[in-house]
Each structure stands twice: as structure tokens, then as C-alpha cells.
Amino acid sequence: MRSSSLPSIVERARPLLGTYVAIRVSGVPESCAHGAIDAAFDQIALVHHRMSFHEAESDVSRLNENALRHAVQVHPRTYEVLRWAQQIAEASHGWFDVTVARHLVAWGVLPRPRSAYDPDPRASWRDIELRRDGAVRFHRPTWIDLGGIAKGYAVDRAVELLRASGVPQGCVNAGGDLRVFGPAAERVRLRTGSRVRGVVPVVDVENASIASSGRARRPRSIATGPEPAFLVRRGGSLYRRRRADQDRAVTRPEQRAGLAPLPGDRVRRDRAPGLANPRCVTSCRRFVFHRRSA
């Protein structure tokens, strides 16, 4: 029988964030690994319950229902994600915008939230006020969806907690959002939907994050046709990109604040001809930008 005091590889998964989240760690005793994984899952569950578009009592649901009428106090984690969302929106000149929810509702991707008003088509991220007391107020009728940023944030929080717990190597995989930390690189397969026989695109990831919004394995339809892979804002309107374009944009590492390419990154890059700059792409479900870990 293996001693619980010896370092081992421990991997567990739970249904969270609309997918199965898997956490794998190594380099610590099994008992310590399980404790660290439990704490990491608790962090992810907090993001799930506070930032879900679907849960009636989440911060997002309360904002969509009440933030136009009065300021709504939110959890510090939700406030932090909204602050990041505002910074990314400004850096991308509004190409990333959490007020995309009205389009997703109109297309049947998301259910109509519990709200007494319809969104103003002119509303944008600029109409969201983050107050110093931790409250949030909308200045135009709008709905928000944090699906483009909350999952990556949850993964980052889980990794930070695992590292603080003394875990030297690991991976947190939340479906389309994955982060690897530690001295060893890990090979990640990309699900591109390619029909080229015998060809499996891979990337070697070391201390980095990678994200995709691909639906090549599970395409579905919306009210106006096939669900888009990306929503790209141009001149105030939203363009829906074909799934064929999406998979070559997913391996570009970007800095979180300036969204500038990182020198010396260890993730191989590819880019489809004519594809919009990945820094300016808003995913239907998550924003495609990637940060190398410290």
C-alpha cells in the first residue's frame, strides 16, 4: 500500500462553471494534495455561485435585476472581476464588453434574466459604475454576462491557492480554460474539429494559460442559425465569426493588463489568415486572452 506521506499525482474533477473542472497536482504528499484541491474547488465554487448568469441569487442576477434602480453591493471577487472587465474593455476599445448579454439572450443562448426592463441598444461597459464602497450601478438599462472572464478568473484563483499551499506542479482545466504551473511543461491537445487524418495539433505549456471557445466537438444552433464561436465588435455592431476561424487564435499568450504579446513565451502560436487580432476578440462565452504565470 502506498504511503500517504510520499509525493504523488492526484487528480479530481467536479461539475462547476457549466463544465467539469479538473485539478491535477503533483510533488506533495497525497493528504496535502487533497486538502489543497478541496480549497481550490471552494474558490471555484464561490465564483460559480456569485457570477453565474443562471443562478437567481448570484451577484450577476441581482445586478441585472436591480442595478439600474439603485446601487447593488456585490462580493469582493465579483467586484474584482468587474474591475478587470472594465480595464480590458478600455484596453480593447470596447471589443470586449460584458454588456454582450442582451445579444446572447436575443439569440437564445442565455435565458432572459429576471428584469423589469429591456436593455438599451446604446448601453455599453461605460454605463457600469464601480463605486468605491464595493457597490455597482448601471446608468442605462443593460444586462451583463461574466461568462467571458469569470471562468479564467476562477482558474487563476485556484492556481494561486494551490501554489500558496505549497503545490509545486499542477494543472487546472475548466473546459476551454486551462492553466499549467510548475517547472515541467505539459502537452495540451487542441480540439479543432480538423478532418486531417493522423494530425493532432498540440501545444507545450509551461507556466502559462490557454483558452478556447471552440464548439467544434459540440456545435449547436441558436435562434438565428449556428451558434457563433466569437462575437467581434466593429463600429458598434457585433459580427459572428465562423467556427473554422476560431481554433487558430486560441494559443496566443497575452499580458492581462496591457494585452501585449509576451517575449519568450513557451506556447507555440498560430493564426488564421484574416482573423481579427486576438486581443480584440470577444468570445460568445469567454474572452480569449491568455496570461503567462508569474
Q: In this predicted model, what pLDDT tens digit does every residue of 252-262 receive, in sequence order?
A: 333 333 333 33
> Which triple of cell numbers denotes residue 276?
481579427
Task: Let me know whether 83 and 115 are in one domain.
Answer: yes
Cβ-contact 130, 79 below 8 angstroms: yes
* CA–CA gap between residue 112 and residue 73 (Å, rounded): 22
Show contacts of 276-279: CB within 8 Å, 24+ apart: 276/232, 276/241, 278/249, 278/252, 278/254, 279/91, 279/92, 279/254
Whether residues 290 and 199 fall in one domain: yes
Q: Cell for 109?
A: 443562448
Give yes or no for a contact between 16 and 41, defined as CB atoms under 8 angstroms apart. Answer: yes
118 pLDDT band (50/70/90 cuts)? very high
Q: How far apart are CA 129 and CA 115, in angstroms?
A: 19
**Is the confidence at residue 237, as pLDDT, over 80?**
no
Q: Does residue 216 have a pLDDT over 70? A: no
pLDDT top residue among 201 and 60: 60
Specify whether 269 is located in the same domain as 219. Answer: yes
* Residue 206 resides in a domain: yes
Task: Enumerate residues 6+ apart whose C-beta is below 8 A from 262.
Answer: 253, 254, 255, 292
pLDDT given for residue 225 in this prediction: 53
Is position 193 within any domain? yes
Cα(first)–Cα(last) distance of the chain, in Å? Answer: 37
Decide which of 59 and 240 is more confident.
59
pLDDT classification of 210: cutoffs 50, 70, 90: confident
Structural domain boundaries, residue 210: 185-294
Residue 125 or 273, more confident? 125
Q: From residue 139, give the alpha-carbon distance in Å to each of 67, 79, 120.
A: 8, 17, 10
- In this prediction, residue 285 carries a pLDDT of 31
Residues 45 and 168 in one domain: yes
The reply to whether 119 and 18 lie within a common domain is no
Amino acid at 127: D
Chain-centroid distance, C-alpha 94: 17
Q: Residue 66 has which C-alpha cell?
A: 436591480
The larger pLDDT score, comparing residue 208 to residue 12, is at 12
**In this structure, are residues 238 and 284 in contact, taking their beta carbons and an 8 Å threshold?**
no
* CATH code at position 96: 1.10.3980.10
DSSP letters for 194-215 = ---TT---EEEESSEEEE----
Distance between CA 169 and CA 185 in Å, rounded? 10
Q: Which residue has the higher pLDDT, 213 or 248?
A: 213
CA pair distance 66, 252, nearest whole angstrom: 37
In a domain, 176, yes or no: yes
**29 and 171 share one domain:** yes
pLDDT of residue 277: 35
Q: Are 127 and 226 in a shared domain?
A: no
Of 214, 98, 79, which is closest to residue 147 (Cα–Cα)? 98
- Looking up cell 460584458 gives 98
Cβ atoms 38, 196 nearer than 8 A: no
pLDDT tens-digit map of 65-111? 999 999 999 999 999 999 999 999 999 999 999 999 999 999 999 99
Sheet with 72-73, strands from edge to edge, namely 72-73, 135-138, 128-130
194 in any annotated domain? yes
**Mean pLDDT computed over every residue of the chain:** 77
Q: Which of 120-129, 162-171, 181-190 has the lowest mean pLDDT?
A: 181-190
Same domain, 99 and 72: yes
pLDDT of residue 205: 86
pLDDT of 278 = 34
pLDDT at 193: 62
pLDDT value at residue 35: 96
**Mean pLDDT, range 107-135, rounded to an integer:** 96
- On whether residue 143 sits in a domain, the answer given is no
Q: Are residues 175 and 39 in the same domain?
A: yes
Q: What tens digit of pLDDT does each residue of 167-209 get?
A: 999 999 998 789 999 999 888 877 766 556 667 778 888 898 8
Residue 151 forms part of a structural domain: no
Is 93 found in the same domain as 23?
A: no
Instruction: Give me the amino acid identity at 213.
Output: S
3-state helix, strand, coil in the chain (%, to 5): 30, 25, 50
For residues 40 and 64, state if they share a domain: no
179 is a domain residue: yes
Find the largest Cα–Cα distance for the chain. Answer: 64
Domains: count for the chain: 3
Query: Mean pLDDT, to the nearest integer, of 148-152?
Result: 92
Report pLDDT for 214. Answer: 57
Whether 116 and 77 share a structural domain: yes
